[in-house]
Structure 1
């Protein structure tokens, strides 16, 4: 194992409370495009002439639900057409080995849950793609894949209201329950925080890293592009999570066997 990974693996073995923060770069290795940067779908305007932040906003869903759903459907189809990768699975296994290891994800693809991350230690800060629910009557609808094959926007079978996924669209507030879970865990502190595949541009993503740094914890960044926190972390790996996490897991597993 490379020296830097060896040191990071040792830090993971010693740490008790661990937070892994994940962004679009993690799921890019599953074939899911990111919004921005390397492999980004929307590095400029959409083909409707508006930025993706406008097209996929709460305001657009109210004003022109068909246009908003055009881009929600692109994202939904991409998510349903791919699967968790080796990094998702390694993170889930790390959570099995470390009972106080949490995942905070910006991703709405559900891959952490599919890979086996326990829901009681998973914070999906931007929500998820399913189940859909009616904005008029509140009825739930589990048929996301079916609706994506039909005219958009999808409508409620009970009242013909427009359906929406439980995601945080641009311009909307973050889920209160998810924020509260994050606040409770941050109040307890973390010995080690890893930022994976995210630009860390949102305060609620960067702050856990900064808090760990202030308290003397170990901070790590795994991403192919430099970010605002790149110069502040103890370990920076400009590599794919797909390569890093299985290697880390193998070392930690071997250490546990030898104990």
Structure 2
């Protein structure tokens, strides 16, 4: 285990271009539940008899905004009720030390930004929870926390339209700008790709790892569980990111 951490650190030390892919496991150490565990929200059906994927979908936001916002509010309260952890801080510090280090995150909590990851090297592929914006007139509203204390759905102060977060709901497309940014960087190549706390096998997660392998780069995973990625990365550390990332950082020079 310790040897694997040193191997990953040495690969990062040698590399100029590094990609860190993060999922719910990273924020779980802040007390945020992972995707399937949000207060039991994602297990089985909602009290309305719906799968959560239907309740938290783009069509539901249009058809029954109060119902969709009932569950968006659960996400919002969970994210606002926790803070970035030492794993987020270690990634931000690594980006300071390695100016070619990028972060691709599936998380919508905004913790990478709060921890200090530079926005220009951060790709939030599923968007984020704030600031809200009006679906009718486009006006921005930064008051997510205040709206969660009021009757839902939140309304625009300008025109009375229904507000929504800039997050990707079920049955919605990934943001074109984020996808373009990711594939522009993947085309340039990454020498090291590190997956942290993600079980996903979406193409935009797998492709950067595969390409790094094809080009002779180094791939690694930090996840206490075995995932679809585990079988073919160069190193898999079966521990939580909160333990591993600060230790990993301690082996990388400050330049």
With the shorter chain as reference, the TM-score category is: over 0.9
Query: In structure 1, what is the Cα distance between the partners aligned to 2:216 and 2:251?
Result: 24
Aligned equivalents of 1:212 and 1:123: distance in 2? Answer: 18
Q: Distance in 2 between matches of 1:102 and 1:115?
A: 14
Match of 2:242 in 1: 242
Q: Is the 8 A contact 1:33 1:41 kept in 2?
A: no
TM-score (norm 2): 0.96
Tell me whether 36-45 or 215-224 shows the greater mean CA deviation. 36-45
Query: Could you tell me how far 1:38 is from its partner in structure 2?
Result: 10
Alignment of structure 1 residues 169-180 onto 2, 5 Å: 169-180=169-180
Q: Distance in 2 between matches of 1:41 and 1:3?
A: 39
Q: Deviations over 1:150-175 (max 9, x none)?
A: 11100111221110000111111111
Per-residue Cα deviation, 1:75-122 (whole angstroms, up to 9, x for no partner): 001101100000000000000010100000011100000000011100
Equivalent position SS for 2:210: helix
Unaligned 5+ segments in structure 1 are none
What secondary structure does 2:233 align onto? Answer: coil
Residue 58 (1) aligns with residue 64 (2): no
DSSP 3-state at the match of 1:252? coil
Q: Which residue of 1 aligns with 2:159?
A: 159
SS of equivalent to 1:157: coil
Note if contact 2:86-2:246 (Cα within 8 Å) is conserved in structure 1: yes
Q: Distance in 2 between matches of 1:223 and 1:40?
A: 22
Partner of 1:190: 190
Cα 1:218/1:113, change in 2 over 3 Å: same
Contact 1:24 1:34 in 2 (8 A): yes
What number of residue pairs does the alignment pair up?
A: 255
1:73 corresponds in structure 2 to 73
Q: What's the Cα RMSD here?
A: 1.5
- Counterpart position of 1:144: 144
TM-score, structure 1 normalization: 0.95
